[in-house]
Amino acid sequence: MSKVAVVAFGGNALLRGNEAGTIDEQEKNAYDTCMNLVELIRQGYQIIITHGNGPQVGNIVLRNEAGYFTFNIPKMPLDICVADSQGGIGYMIERQLRNALSASGIDRKVITLVSEVIVDRMDPAFEAPTKPVGGYYKLQEKEAAENKYGWVFKEDPAGRGYRRVVASPAPVDILNIDLVEELVNKDYIVIFGGGGGIPVARHENGYLEAIEAVIDKDLTSALIATKISADSLFILTDIPKVFINFRKENEKALDSLTLDEAERYYNEGHFSAGSMGPKIKAAISFLNSGGKETIITEAGLLADLSKGTKIINNKD
Beta bridge mates, 296: 235, 309
Q: Tens digit of pLDDT for each residue in 279-305?
A: 999 999 999 999 999 999 998 888 888
Q: What is the pLDDT confidence band of residue 316, given thresholds at 50, 70 and 90?
A: low
pLDDT of residue 39 exceeding 60, the answer is yes
CA distances from 89 to 54, 121, 211, 310 (A): 11, 27, 21, 28
Q: Please give the model's pTM, rounded to 2 decimal places.
A: 0.94
Radius of gyration of the chain (CA): 20
> Is the pLDDT at 12 greater than 70, yes or no?
no
Q: Is the pLDDT of residue 1 over 60?
A: no
**28 assigned to active site:** no
SS (H, E, C) 237-264: CCCCCEEECCCCCCCEEECEEEHHHHHH
Q: Measured in whole angstroms, how far is the alpha carbon of residue 271 from the centre of its chain?
A: 17
Question: At residue 8, does pLDDT exceed 60?
Answer: yes
Report all structural domains of the chain as residue ranges with CATH numbers, in order of start.
Answer: 3-53+79-117+170-312 (3.40.1160.10), 129-166 (no CATH)
Residue among 40, 30, 25, 7 at smallest CA distance from 98: 30
**For 167, which DSSP code?**
B
- In this prediction, residue 134 has a pLDDT band, given cuts at 50, 70 and 90, of confident
Mean pLDDT lowest for which of 54-68, 181-195, 197-211? 54-68
Residue 158, exposed/middle/buried by CB under 10 A (0-12, 13-18, 19+)? exposed
- Say how many C-beta atoms besides its own lie within 10 A of residue 76's C-beta: 16
For range 109-123, the mean pLDDT: 97
Q: Is 279 a catalytic residue?
A: yes
Inter-residue contact 79 to 212 (CB < 8 Å): yes
Report the range out of 67-81, 147-161, 190-204 with the highest average pLDDT: 190-204
How high is the mean pLDDT of the chain?
93
Say which of 217, 241, 281, 310 is annotated catalytic. Answer: 217
Active site residue 248: no
Tens of pLDDT, residue by residue over 190-221, are 999 999 999 999 999 999 999 999 999 999 99
Catalytic: which of 3, 28, 75, 131? 131
The reply to whether 217 belongs to the active site is: yes
How far apart are the C-alpha atoms of 225 and 173, rounded to whole Å?
12
Q: Which of 142, 279, 281, 310 is catalytic?
A: 279
Cβ proximity of 255 and 316 under 8 Å:
no
Q: What is the b/e burial string over 271-281, where b = at least 16 CB atoms within 10 angstroms of the residue's CB? A: beeeebbbbbb
Is 11 one of the annotated active-site residues of the chain?
yes
